[in-house]
Structure formats: structure tokens, C-alpha cells
Amino acid sequence: MRLAITHETRYHYSPQVQTAQHVAHLQPADTPCQKVISHWMQVEPAASVQHNIDAFLNHRSYWALTKPHDGLMVRAHSEIITSAIATGTTSATNARQSWESVREHFRYRGGQPGDVHSGFVFGSHHAPVHEAFLAYAQSSFTPGRSLVQAAQELTARMHRDFRYESESTDINTPALEALAEKRGVCQDFAHIMLACLRSLGLPARYVSGYLLTQPPPGQPRLVGSDASHAWASVYLPELASHACQGWLDLDPTNDRTGLASPGEDYVRLAVGRDFADVSPLRGVLQGGGAHTLEVAVTVAPLDE
């Protein structure tokens, strides 16, 4: 599938911001399920944008604004080819490694080398380890069950149990609160999934990206009406040499799962421990006060 993504963010400040430093994660990377054809980013006020690779191998952009300004506009455009992994003889459906064996694989042992993905076992700011997450997850993670089957059932159960409600939460809403209220948005569901898996002792990471949505029959696609998306992925050592590089992606918002991606209609932007590692745009400002934020995202097939 060939997709075009435009992600535009606008801030309006009152009073003016005097100086600012910004960091963005808006450039997708090549993955087992996607290839980047082109990418560009525009910043106003104009700035010298620098680029590097962060600790999670994401593309990161950063810049400084040294003059007073009353607004910021960042527009990123990417063209992507997505595809499904050829499963061959190894797929999510026939991976048999139990969740307990994966937990034991990541258990700390003094004097022995650890797995490079061990950092994803520990709780993080938005996805803490807590007995409430463990209690919710345990009915899916029964003794001896394969990690794939348990994770897929947890994904489906969250999809049934939780209500998607726009603007019912914000990024500062604790995952424990969203779990208790059984409602939220995709960020909340991804953080709850992460917290459940980590509370079981399993390695899981946050994935930010986009999902192609379809307009109602007979109606044109609305420019800027889409939104960024978030989901989670869990690591299986059994699949480390597979094309998915060991990661099974889990989207409880839509009850979709798949190796390295939930599907060809998904685009991965960045991965990290939680949202704080991969925020599309963040900054430190000197001056300013009140601000307004406008975000417009369009995901469309390239042939439209």
C-alpha cells in the first residue's frame, strides 16, 4: 500500500515567546513492514533543523528559535510503501513460547549478560508496574499459555471492555485512572497494554504512528481530519531471527495484531518506553503564557 501522510501542528502564543528549543519525532523510519519513499519537514519561523538518531533508533529533529515569535508551525510530509511480512514457516499463529518462559528469559541474573531489550520490562512514567494492571491481565495470561495467544486475547478483551471517548482524557491522565474508568483514547489504551505486560515481567514498547481511515461511502476524504495513532508491541525471543525482529504489535483500540505491524494500513513513526519518549513535538520555551494548539493529520492513498 502506498500512503501519503501530512502532519501539521500550529501553536499560537500570547504573549510572545522570546526563545525556544524544540524536538520532533515526525520522520518515519524503514521497518520490516514499511519503506520511506520521501520525507520533508517545514518549520515557521524558519530555523536550522538538525537531525540525529535517538536511543531507540528513531529519527529525531531539533532546532532553536532565538527571536521573539507569537506562533509556531511545523508541517511534516511523508510518502510510505507498507507491506505485510511474508510469514513462511514462522508466524505469530504458530509461535509457541509460553509467556512464563519469556518472563524468565528477562529475569535478572547476576554476572550474566542480559537481553538488549531488557529496558522495556521496567515501568515508565506513563506505563507503571502496578498490581491493578497485573490483576486485569492475569485472566488472559493463564499458566503455560503461549505469549502470542495471551497477548492477542488481552488485546481483544481490552477492545471489548474499554470505551473509546475523544477528549475524555489527556496525556497527563494516569493509566491507572483510565484503567479504572475503562475509557480513553488510543494513547491510554497503549499505556494500559504496556503496563499490563510489564507488570507480568514482559518487555513491551510504545509505538506512535498513523492509521489509514476510510471516509463514509460516497463522501470525499477530509483533509486534516485524521489523527496520529498509538499502539503497543511485545517482544518474543523465539521470533528474534524472524523478519519481525521479535516484535508482535498489538492495537487494543481496533483489536488488530500482527508481526512488526498490526496491518498494511498502519505507519510506524517512532518507538519508545511510552509517549514521553516519542512525542511528535515538544519544546522548552522562554516567555509566552497562554497558547492554543491546532493539529491536522491527513493519511491518504497516494493514488487519490
Tens-place pLDDT, residues 65-97: 999 999 999 999 999 999 988 654 445 667 889
Tens-place pLDDT, residues 162-202: 999 988 888 889 999 999 999 999 999 999 999 999 999 99
Tens-place pLDDT, residues 150-159: 999 999 999 9
Looking from the CA of 302 toward its CB, the CA atoms found within 13 Å total 13
Let me know: does 5 contact 301? Beta carbons within 8 Å. Answer: no
From residue 134, how far is each of 162, 176, 179, 239 by CA, in Å? 17, 12, 12, 25
Among residues 61, 73, 199, the alpha carbon closest in space to that of 129 is found at: 199
From residue 143, how far is each of 101, 137, 146, 196, 295 by CA, in Å? 11, 12, 9, 16, 45
Query: Does the N-terminal peptide bond of residue 15 adopt cis geometry, omega within 30 degrees of 0?
Result: yes
Tens-place pLDDT, residues 17-49: 999 999 999 999 999 999 999 999 999 999 999
